[in-house]
Structure 1
Amino acid sequence: MTINVLMTVPTGPGVGLTSVSVGLVRALEQQGLKASFFKPVAQPQPGDKGPDKSTAMVAQGSSLTPAEPIPLHEAERFLYNDNIDELMEEIVGRFQASVEPDSTVIVEGLAQIAGHPYATRLNKAIARTLDAGLVLVTAPNNMRVNELEHHVEIAAGSYGGIKADDVIGCILNKTTPGSLGVKSYGDLFAQRGIFKRNFSLLGQIPSADELTFPRVKDVADFLGANIVNAGEMETRRVQSYTLCARGVENVLEALKPGVLVFTPGDRTDVIMATAIAALNDIKIAALVVTGGYQPSEALMSLCGKAMAKGLPVLSVNSNSWETVINMQSFNQEIPLDDKERVSMVKEHIARCIDHEWINSFALNQEERKLSPPAFRFRLIELARSLNKRIVLPEGEEIRTIQAASICAERGIARCTLLGNEKEILRTAQNNGIELSHGVEILDPASILERYVAPMVELRKSRGLTEIVAREQLEDNVVLGTMMLQTGDVDGLVSGAVHTTANTIRPALQLIKTSPDASLVSSVFFMCLPDQVLVYGDCAINPDPNAEQLAEIAIQSADSASAFGITPKVAMISYSTGGSGTGNDVDKVREATKIAQELRPDLLIDGPLQYDAAIMEKVAKQKAPNSKVAGKATVFVFPDLNTGNTTYKAVQRSADVVSIGPMLQGIRKPVNDLSRGALVDDIVYTIAITAIQAGNIKS
């Protein structure tokens, strides 16, 4: 068993040691490397209950199940009795039970917090015991370059100094551009002697305000508030707060997206103004009425429409001033049930770690399993390298606007929103969404005319006239499809408010299938805890015949390869091998034969039952000679009923994230969204569409 061990240790208090540690695990997972995590000793914060926070954060969205750390009181007992060797034995036992063979292990050291003077001493002993390379974590805290250099060198001195073989380098956390007197933290390499061959700058993690925004629910719990109207308190986040005790005309500027409004409960005018702002689609975080006042039923009825739009209203007994002062002690740490924020922190930190350094820990590159984090990371990186232009016909829809903003910020694609510019900008402003120059807004009325003639030419065999073409182009999906057909954009994503038919029909009429395809099909990327699988076809073809099913299998295999998944194709049926009979099994058996003959380079086997395709133990019993059974990565279902039911059953029962459907066989990339799509779903679909555009052979 080969294991690389990296231990994160702080250079001082408040450096964000836990966030960096869990982010390092995600960085390893993104690169497809086998990762493990271990926290030797728990350090709970006052009021913490339940499992260790670091361990629980690592386990969220991952297949890892790290061992629980030694309780702090037990570790202190060993130290006070001068039994540090016995403590190390206990730590080694838990370490060996926690790590996977051939993995890179991130060990989180003890943070430097009040009342724990032994942290550095214990970190040294743990690192020596586990033979760990040391990664210093520091936060510049407005230090100048020379101050930072001395700070890191002094901290490294506790572990043998920056020249020691096991002191690898430093990660700068919570950085602010310009705070060290340099334009870029990379300039530290050129300017200072601290970062040398054996001691490197391993990551620069900028501060990000959005990672600190708590949910309204968290604030309500902290204040012990009574819930007058729950609204969207589970999802709305607090970006700032304001005390409104003056006349309404003096508080209007404070009513912004994300603001938590405190006002005395008898200030009916402020309550009404906040409700009016909510009715104008300004996503105020919440309204908190103070002083123990309860808004009257008449007032609540008058503000009913604002409440229906999701405005949370809370009530507290303390007065406004006491409540605001109390907020100063609000704990900004991430609650474990805030999965969205935990994921955001992981992804943010992982993006900022030196990827070359992470890849240096590859032990068996060829055996890397494409985990969900690795798959999502690959999607984003591939899309960024292509710089494609994607049209979004549902440009006035809030999730679509937010996704376009994220894509611009991260350089995933250049998004074009179709819709009324004033309406789009108003929606963005009211929801605190920043639309940079990377997002283009086009008013459909201003561009419609240029696509009339090309559309008439395309459909002249169908007798399309200019009048009818102009009428059809008033549908933004049709207009976006014509933009794609004429090469003005590289791909199209729609479906957040339109049906699948609305998205696909124009593409089939105007763009048509690829030269080598006779049908359009679809795949879902199913993000299981430890692996990404491909399911096809779960959205398009109701009952394909054997030839069509073979084509779907080949399309799905090629799609898997395009996204870094080694295709091992299982043709799914209710029977494995030759054990069953019937028209449905015969169809799958014939489709398997056709696909194998058309593409002998692919691993395709069938018919296989689902359990035989995915479980090695079952495969050994039912299909012992199959190279696919038990190892399948692409699952091709015999009909839409089976495919759609299976993907939804797996998605819902196993809490699996599914990305798709991604359409296959169309000459240019068009992709459909679920009408319940989340913002992240739209972002990843845009990335997939950009990658498909890059794979088109000109």
Structure 2
Amino acid sequence: MADSLYIANLEKDCGKLVVTLGVMELLSRRIGRVGFFRPIIPGDGKEDNDINLIKQRYNISLRFDEMAGVSHELARALIAEGNELGLFREIVRKYGEVRRKCDFLLCEGPNIISMSEAFDYDISIRIARELGTPTLHVVNGRNRDVAEIQENIGVAEKIYEQYQCPLLAIFVNRIDPALLAEAEAEIRASHQGKPYRLDFLPEMKGFSMPTMEEIIEALGARHFSGPKAGLQRDVHAIKVAAMSPANYIDFLEEDDMIVTPGDRPDIIFATLGAIASRNYPSPAGMLLSGNLEPSSSMVRLLDGLDDLSLPIYLIPGDTYTVAQRAGEIKGTLRPHNEQKIARALGVFESHVDTLGLEQQVIETVATIMSPLMFEYSLFQRARADRQHIVLPEGEDERILRAAEILRAREVVDLTLLGEEKTIRNRAASLGLKLQDVTIIDPKSSPLREAFIESLYEARKYKGITRDWAHDAISDVSYFGTLMVHTDRADGMVSGAVHTTQHTVRPAFQIIRTRPEVSVVSSVFFMCMETRVLVYGDCAVNPNPNSEELAEIAIRSAETAAMFNIEPIVAMLSYSSGSSGQGEDVERVREAVHLARARRPGLKIDGPIQYDAAIDLSVAQEKMPESEVAGRATVFIFPDLNTGNNTYKAVQRSAGAVAIGPILQGLNKPVNDLSRGCLVSDIVNTVAITAIQAQAVKKQAWLQSAPAATTI
């Protein structure tokens, strides 16, 4: 079962809140801790009617600031700066934080009516894609015929397909009641076999009318006379009273809001007379324009009336402008308007198969993982049990910027290696603080002598001398590796300046491989738009044999599982199944046989071509019986040449985010960076290294824990 849902729209005034309310009512009956979240809220972000309604009605314990993502003002500023990635990253962060506090999180997308020209109209769907949530889409059926509704459904369907966003259901809302049966029958008939469900809701007469309370709040009107409370009566029309009283009352209708200048006592008297008479309708209220208070005698008269049911308010501005502003106000569902809430829920529950919708929600499994959501999950896991990571290249600008981010977000504890004065001056020139970051100079550190001895003892069987160890310790890669080896750090990340060989050689020599591992290998996490794939080995082993390929496959599957990616392993080759022959194909086929023998429960198949491994339609043609074909998440390349070029081709051509290489098989985690890495690459690799360190400690604890005894 998915643990979140997202309600989106592409059109304004679609009545999305009615769907939100109906779905929330359904969820609250079944799930204990249901939360609510809006990624973008109107204005400056201090108030939001939808959050207030859901929070109060369903007694949600979350604070307002937890339920609100970013303000419209901030979102607009970030997009204007060209920092859309920053906007999505902040939304993902806040979404992730609130999701951890709930059993289920219902998200409601931004109001299209409040979006400025700086926003693309499909931003709501793109947010849903980044969050990885199944989506309910609301189409506006108001004042549209069947063909127009069909067209809008088609547009929505194409956009969801374009962004690979899972579409669970489409609600067509606000359909003319006279058209409802015809529209539902025709649209259902033309959409048979679609993967999403369809529901249809009629327009509720007068539902979008504002209440007297909403009008006076929106206009900032000041009370003059009559009731102040209970202003929940809907206003059906705005009437300007400019005629004589005798003519005016003939145009008066039930639930009108009357706008007239404050110096027209005759209109006030006529309106009060209409209310008292059984022969005339009763208006909802009155606005006196010009901020003109009636005379003191009029005030005295009104004060003396018992049970005056006409709320009268004062407002500055001319009569025409006041009437125009009042006419632009639209009604909303408010927490204390029980009549409207009950009506909305009644319409939703009488027109929607709520049991069917509930079952579909239960059966839906979230399959989307955006790069930003993967990044957020890394930070959360690393932060949960903070590890100490050493960064040997402390004088590099990218390392310093990454250290500042990691420090500010409290992902790990850090040590930088290098000359302290140089690092501090460099950081200051970049405007970085580096508070709580330890800096060690390998050339003058008190740890030198102990590390020289440790290195000598670890490598003397290879014939090294203490003099060689003395010189080697000044090298930041050796010093950092020895910090990990002697438990002064939990992991190391390097390679922004140094070559891969320079980074990993000390780890191979000192930290070495785990006893059960025959070869150290590497993987890249390839963050596509909607999922994360694992590529191995793209950095370490040039021409692995069958034994080594099997080992790489097993370790890559373990790494995938460590990061909550279900390991479904494709052993790649230039042919699929039994279609090809030759030494290279047989090497892969033998590797599959060996891996299955060592890990009987592992989903693994090969040889298989990349298209058959990733595309289900191709898989059904080439390997229809395979449980891996078309579903693979872990891709093992036959050699370094193929793997390295493929990951770079996918990274550059498909816009994938490549995180790695991540080394696997060492006793403790050491990871290599590309010399062309970005700050974000460093940050993500450090978080991954911390999670690997957590796993190493957990495994050590399990091995040292006493076995249970049966008595």
**The TM-score by the shorter chain falls in which range?**
0.5 to 0.7
Which residue of 2 is the match for residue 676 of structure 1?
676
> Residue type of the partner of 1:467?
D
**What's 1:441 paired with?**
439
Q: Give the residue type in structure 2 aligned to 1:644.
A: N
Separation in 2, partners of 1:570, 1:683: 29
Q: Is the 8 A contact 2:133 2:166 kept in 1?
A: no
Deviations 1:25-57 (A, max 9, x none): 776689799999866745564xx4794484597
Q: Deviations over 1:373-401 (max 9, x none)?
A: 33222211111112100000001111111
| Cα distance change on mapping 1:101 and 1:588 into 2, 3 Å | closer
Amino acid at match of 1:440: T
Count of residues in Structure 1 that have an aligned counterpart in Structure 2: 455
Which position in structure 2 is the counterpart of 1:408? 407
* SS of residue paired to 1:459: helix
Distance 1:637 1:13, change over 3 A: closer
Q: Is 1:509 matched with 2:683?
A: no
Partner residue of 1:482?
A: 482
Alignment of 1:3-402 (within 5 A): 5=7, 16-17=71-72, 41=112, 45=116, 48=117, 51-52=120-121, 54=123, 58=127, 85-86=143-144, 94=152, 97=157, 103=168, 158-161=332-335, 363-364=362-363, 367-402=366-401
Deviation of the 1:674 alpha carbon: 0.5
The alpha-carbon deviation at position 647 of structure 1 amounts to 0.7
**TM-score, normalising length from structure 2?**
0.57
Residue 655 (structure 2) pairs with residue 655 (structure 1): yes
Whole-Å separation in 2 of the counterparts to 1:105 and 1:127: 24
1:596-628 CA-partner distances (Å, limit 9, x unpaired): 111011100000000000000000000000000
Mapped partners of 1:660, 1:128: distance in 2: 55
| C-alpha distance in structure 2 between counterparts of 1:416 and 1:686, whole Å | 12
> Partner residue of 2:581?
581
In structure 2, C-alpha distance between the alignment counterparts of 1:510 and 1:674, rounded to whole Å: 22
**Cross-structure match for 1:288:** none
State the secondary structure of the residue aligned to 2:468. Answer: helix
**Post-superposition CA distance 1:342-395 (Å, at most 9, x none):** xxxxxxxxxxxxxxxxxxx97457554444333222211111112100000001
Counterparts of 1:616 and 1:555 in 2: how far apart (Å)?
25
Q: Aligned partner of 1:542: which letter?
A: P
Question: Does 1:552 find its partner at 2:552?
Answer: yes
Q: Which residue of 2 aligns with 1:568?
A: 568
Secondary structure at the aligned position of 2:566 is classed as coil
Counterpart of 2:674 in 1: which secondary structure? Answer: coil
Distance in 2, Cα, partners of 1:89 & 1:500: 61
Deviates more, 1:26-35 or 1:680-689: 26-35
* Distance in structure 1 (CA, Å) of the matches to 2:105 and 2:611: 25
Against the structure 1 CA distance between its residues 84 and 622, is the aligned structure 2 distance closer, same or farther, given a 3 Å change threshold? closer
Once the two structures are TM-superposed, the CA of residue 13 in structure 1 deviates from its matched residue by 5.8
Q: Output one character per residue of 1:580-608: Cα deviation in whole Å (capped at 9) or x when no partner.
A: 00000000000000001110111000000
1:567 Cα shift? 0.3
Cα distance in 1 for partners of 2:91, 2:481 equals 42
Q: 1:63 touches 1:529 (CA, 8 Å); kept in 2? A: no
State the percentage of identical aligned residues.
Answer: 43
Shift of 1:453: 1.1
Indicate the residue corresponding to 2:31 in structure 1. none
Confirm or deny: 8 A CA contact 1:25 1:37 kept in the other structure: no
Q: Which amino acid aligns with 1:468?
A: W
Partner secondary structure for residue 682 of structure 1: helix
Q: Give, in whole Å, the separation in 2 of the partners of 1:402 and 1:502.
A: 23
After superposition, what is the alpha-carbon deviation per residue over 1:130-155, rounded to whole angstroms, capped at 9, x for unaligned?
xxxxxxxxxxxxxxxxxxxx9xx9x9
CA–CA distance in 2 between the matches of 1:672 and 1:165? Answer: 63
What displacement does 1:640 show?
Answer: 0.4
Q: Could you tell me which residue of structure 2 aligns to residue 686 of structure 1?
A: 686
Q: Is the 8 A contact 1:394 1:497 kept in 2?
A: yes
What does 1:452-467 align with in structure 2 at a 5 Å threshold? 452-467=452-467
Q: Distance in 2 between matches of 1:689 and 1:378?
A: 14
TM-score, structure 1 normalization: 0.58
Does residue 1:594 correspond to 2:649, yes or no? no
Q: 1:94 to 1:672 in 2, by over 3 A?
A: same
Give CA deviations for 1:630-670 in whole Å, capped at 9, x if unaligned. 00000000100111111111111111100000001111100
Counterpart in the other structure of 2:609 = 609
The structure that has the greater radius of gyration is 2
Within 1, Cα distance between the matches of 2:166 and 2:479? Answer: 54
1:303-350 Cα distance to aligned partner (Å, 9 max, x none) = xxxxxxxxxxxxxxxxxxxxxxxxxxxxxxxxxxxxxxxxxxxxxxxx
Pair 1:104–1:466, CA change in 2 (3 A): farther
Letter in 1 for 2:566: T
Question: Does structure 2 conserve the Cα–Cα contact (< 8 Å) formed by 1:603 and 1:628?
Answer: yes
One-letter code aligned to 1:442: I
Question: Is the CA contact 2:6–2:108 (under 8 Å) kept in the aligned structure 1?
Answer: no
Contact 2:400 2:427 in 1 (8 A): yes
Whether the aligned pair in 2 keeps the contact of 1:387 and 1:412 (CA below 8 Å) is yes
Q: Which segment is superposed worse, 408-417 or 9-18?
A: 9-18
Q: Give the alignment's Cα RMSD to 1 decimal.
A: 4.5
CA distance in 2, matches of 1:607, 1:166: 62
**Distance change >3 Å, CA 424–CA 17, structure 1 → 2:** same
Q: Distance in 2 between matches of 1:88 and 1:44?
A: 27
Over 3 Å counting, the alpha-carbon distance change for 1:162 and 1:525 in structure 2 is farther
Task: Summarize deviations over 1:560-591 as a string: whole Å, max 9, x none.
Answer: 00000000000000000110000000000000
CA distance in 2, matches of 1:667, 1:35: 42
Conservation of the 8 A alpha-carbon contact between 2:129 and 2:368 = no
The answer as to whether partners of 2:523 and 2:556 remain within 8 angstroms in 1 is yes
- Give the AA of the match of 1:549: L
Q: Which moved more, 1:86-95 or 1:368-377?
A: 86-95
- Check 1:54–1:610 CA distance in 2 against 1; reply closer, same or farther (3 A cut): closer
Matches of 2:72 and 2:340, distance apart in 1: 19
Instruction: Give the SS at the match of 1:627.
Output: coil
Partner of 2:498: 498
* Structure 1 match to 2:473: 473
Q: Conserved in 1, the CA contact under 8 Å of 2:93 and 2:376?
A: no
| Distance of aligned partners of 1:513 and 1:625 in 2 relative to their CA distance in 1, 3 Å threshold | same
Per the TM alignment, residue 14 of structure 1 is displaced from its structure 2 partner at its CA by: 6.5
Q: Deviations over 1:499-530 (max 9, x none)?
A: 00001101111111111111110000000111
Cα distance between partner residues in 1 of 2:542 and 2:621: 32
Counterpart of 1:485 in structure 2: which amino acid? H
Q: Which residue of 2 aligns with 1:196?
A: none
Shift in Å, 1:165: 11
Distance 1:157 1:632 in 2: 50
Q: 1:578 to 1:391 in 2, by over 3 A?
A: same
Closer, same or farther: CA 128–397 of 1 in aligned 2, 3 Å: farther
